[in-house]
Each structure stands twice: as C-alpha cells, then as structure tokens.
C-alpha cells in the first residue's frame, strides 16, 4: 500500500527511554507531497465511516486531516484528564509503562461507524484501549489504520487475538 517515501520516517534510539527506538514521523509530515499522499491513502480506507477517531497525540495529526479531507466528524481519543464533560476511561500497558485514554460518552450517535487512526502500531495496547472505548460508547468500528507497524512487537496479532474480525490497515510494516 506504500506510495510515499518511507525514508522520511527516522529512527531515534533510546527515546523516550533507553532501549526504545522511537519512530519519528516529523520529516514525513513536514514534506507536503508525502504527507498529502498518506492522507489520501488513509482517506480512501476511511471513506465509508461516519466518524474518524484519532489517538493522542500523533494519531491526531493524521485523523484530523483525514476527517477534514473526507468531510467526516473527528473523535479525539485523549490521554486521561484532557477532555471536559462526561468521559469514559480505559487503562492499558505500553512497551515502556502504562497509560489511560478517555473518550466523550455523550456526543456521538450510537450505531454510527468509525475508523480509528494512529501513527505507529507497536504492542497493540493503545489500539486495544481505543477500540474498547469506541465500542463502549456504542459505535461500530469499520477498521483501525496505522501509518506503520513495528512487526517484531506483534501488536497486530495481539489486536486480532482480542478482535479476530477487525480490519487492520497498515501503510508500512517495519
């Protein structure tokens, strides 16, 4: 599915902690034609959804652009304590710690479909938490899309173990 310059994603060793290799997407989003191509690819995948959800923080970059490009509503899935009003939370483990995500529970029309977008699929913990939140507020998940997967961390397998019929879209696999 790749139609953009994968060399614009650079590896940063030992960030945010020693032993982790961070996938820096900044050069990709700084390059207008390549960023536009990524948004086009994700927009094609998301065209049948009612909403586009983005996982904080780098998933927002892609999901908000896709929502705008497709004329869909945007759903922010945020870190704990960042959303006002009625929210529900989901805790999860990361490859280097734990975290919690939240989503508004009283804004979106139940039964509508959503595509969830994030930048990197690593262990799958963040994605599973986002999927759980979207399901808890009564939305139907069309698919989950990622710019890239770090294959050796087996996140896709972990997601499919929990949600075997879920469509997972990857623009790149590392």
Q: Over the stretch 45-92, which tens digit does the pLDDT of each residue have?
A: 999 999 999 999 999 999 999 999 999 999 999 999 999 999 999 998
- Kindly list the averaged pLDDT for each block of 10 residues, start to end, along the chain of length 174: 86 90 95 97 97 96 98 97 96 81 96 98 94 98 96 94 97 81
Residue that has been written with the tokens 């879209």 in this structure: 169
Residue carrying structure tokens 């945020």? 78
**In whole numbers, what is the pLDDT of the chain averaged over residues?**
94
Tokens matching residue 47: 């065209």
Task: Count Cα atoms within 13 angstroms, Cβ side, for 149.
Answer: 23
CATH assignment of 46-173, among 3.40.50.2020, 1.10.287.470, 3.40.50.1820, 3.30.1360.10: 3.40.50.2020
Retrieve residue 85's tokens: 């009003």
What are the boundaries of each domain within the chain?
A: 46-173
- 102 as an active site residue: the answer is no
Q: Is 56 a catalytic residue?
A: no
pLDDT at residue 173, as a whole number: 73
In this prediction, residue 84 carries a pLDDT of: 96
Beta strands 113-121 and 51-55 are parallel
Which is catalytic among the residues 6, 56, 95, 109? 95
Q: Which residue is catalytic, options 2, 37, 58, 78?
A: 58
């Amino acid at each position: 599915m790749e139609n953009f310059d994968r060399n614009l994603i650079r590896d940063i060793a030992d960030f945010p902690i020693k032993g982790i290799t961070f996938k820096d997407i900044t050069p990709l989003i700084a390059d207008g034609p390549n960023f536009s191509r990524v948004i086009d690819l994700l927009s094609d995948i998301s065209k049948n959804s009612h909403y586009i959800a983005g996982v904080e923080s780098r998933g927002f970059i892609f999901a908000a652009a896709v929502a705008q490009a497709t004329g869909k509503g945007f759903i922010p899935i945020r870190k704990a304590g960042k959303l006002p009003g009625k929210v529900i939370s989901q805790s999860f483990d990361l490859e280097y710690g734990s975290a919690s995500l939240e989503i508004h529970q009283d804004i979106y029309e139940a039964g509508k479909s959503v595509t969830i977008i994030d930048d990197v699929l690593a262990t799958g913990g963040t994605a599973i938490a986002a999927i759980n939140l979207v399901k808890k507020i009564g939305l139907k998940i069309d698919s989950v899309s990622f710019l890239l997967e770090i294959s050796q961390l087996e996140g896709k397998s972990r997601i499919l173990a929990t949600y075997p019929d879920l469509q997972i879209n990857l623009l790149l696999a590392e």
